[in-house]
Structure 1
């Protein structure tokens, strides 16, 4: 899908209507999809078969010399027409975390909308919702005082402009404070696909857990792969993902990750970013993961495994 030039196909990473799709990615869009399906039709065809957790840089940035006190500050939020602006959702969650740590609420700051182009499913980057250019420009132009940025590219942006790091959420020890779009990341499949091809879903989960063991002793190779998709250098990847880079590539459905996803679902609903409450426990089918863990594989054993119909 990432290489496709067809917007209708690329949009499936967010809509998840294709029955043969196995999707692993940020949680905002699958939560929106489930809530929308429940709200519109009273049922949903997606199923969560696992949760991964990939910590990455989540930073609040201010202009050079900015103080770390958020009281009275203008916090930038992208505002793009469309189903759900994931970047807005991420920023709002990060601001909530920062304000909670300071003993403040949203009443103590000025949430400032920054108009973004409508959400579209473009060939390279989706305009408006998954990149922070509009809020970055607003910060540099003095229209807002603080913005949210994430990933390895946030390191490059901060360094290029000598910006002040107001808060680095990725460095907080408590994982509940690091919950956002990418933490945790649900693996979702279409219910019909799971029913028709449970073996393929099991293999997918087996491979992820096998890879999770491999990356622990191949950090530089993983950094190189990540750099090709996110940022120019491996050094920036290391700084963008910090000490937790290769520590949590496994897929599981542990209570802590389920609770984290429920926290995110509740947050999105509370702030009217999704239209229905999502009970995460009702969304999960643990059977494929149990089957995968019962028969762990090594990566060399993968050859020929997908030949099974």
Structure 2
């Protein structure tokens, strides 16, 4: 086993969405917790080195953890990357199928025989946005007894991967490009009839273009309808960190639980912090995530949460987004939670 004092830094990353990792980072809880162990936290996604940034998607760095959308870590696991699933957060968000006025599409049943646009990125990094849109389409159609074969799926080809275009004048000084631009452009050109959008960028772009909402299901009572790339989101660590320093993984989880508990008592501050995290106004965050956002930034590893990830993993395999299938239970690592239970008893 690696000596405890051998680790001086840990890489971490999170998606620009509501997560307890994002909240704990903004509160300074993570830096404080790991500084007490003599460890510096380094952000993967903020690195200027493309090979390091790519670990946000393929989880290749040793001594690292990631919290965010589940498609990249599920894909990485299917490719054999040695990672462990140690926590899950379920924060529901706006999910919808939208169209432009004038298409004649009013309800989901009106999608029958119409063109549904899905942006497709170049090979290399798993196309998590395409997977998200497909699951949204399947969920929406299933509520009306329709199947994907009942619509015409039209690819919207993109030239850049998610690692490209993260700097330059086209960003106008912002960190990321606004999501759903290519999909909206295809709608405006009349190349497709409807698209899927989600979260704060989805609700913002739907508002900007006065889009007609064909179906909204981000808060549907059936969890299998809501399950998608961001519902729920996973906390994963690389195998070396899990094996060599389970105490640090337990410390990470304990710190995130602390952030989640803080969130429940500070709804207004949570909305403000999440707005900063996602690059949106507080009004948009409230509309996209609902009034109870502060109650859904906890973390757990209960069987129902694991089952939800397994359900989406099976969807990804069915639709060809995984290198191979795998047993979800072999990915889950309960050891840090057991250590937390031991600490609580002690």
Task: Check 1:72–1:244 CA distance in 2 against 1; reply closer, same or farther (3 A cut).
Answer: farther
Q: Cα offset for 1:150?
A: 1.2
Secondary structure in 2 aligned to 1:81? coil
Question: What is the SS of the residue equivalent to 2:312?
Answer: helix
1:275 corresponding residue in structure 2: 323
Give 1:131 deviation, angstroms. 3.3
Report SS of the residue matched to 1:102.
coil
Q: How far apart are 1:48 and its partner, in Å?
A: 0.7
Is 1:80 equivalent to 2:121 in the alignment? yes
Question: Counterpart of 1:252?
Answer: 300
Q: Distance in 2 between matches of 1:128 and 1:156?
A: 15
1:203-248 CA-to-partner distances (Å, cap 9, x unmatched) read: 1100111111111121111111111132431011000111441222
Q: Corresponding residue for 2:255?
A: 207
CA distance in 2, matches of 1:280, 1:264: 11
Residue 292 (structure 1) shift: 2.6
The whole-number CA distance in structure 2 between the counterparts of 1:259 and 1:21 is: 24
Superposed counterparts of 1:34-113, under 5 Å:
34-37=77-80, 44-64=81-101, 66-68=105-107, 69=109, 70-83=111-124, 84-113=126-155
Where do residues 41-190 of structure 1 align in structure 2 (5 Å cutoff)?
Answer: 44-64=81-101, 66-68=105-107, 69=109, 70-83=111-124, 84-122=126-164, 123=166, 131-190=179-238
**Which runs of 5 or more structure 1 residues have no equivalent in the other structure?**
38-43, 297-309
Q: 1:128 Cα deviation (Å)? A: 11
Distance 2:147 2:203 in 1: 27
Question: Partner of 1:33 in structure 2?
Answer: 76
Contact 2:119 2:130 in 1 (8 A): yes
What is the Cα-based RMSD across aligned positions, in Å?
A: 2.1
Q: Which runs of 4+ in 1 moved over 6 A?
A: 127-130
What is the alpha-carbon distance in structure 2 between the residues aligned to residue 281 and residue 265 of structure 1? 12
Gap change, CA 1:64 and 1:293, over 3 Å in 2 = farther
TM-score scaled by structure 2? 0.79
Structure 2 gaps, min length 5: 1-43
CA contact (8 A) 1:77 1:88 kept: yes
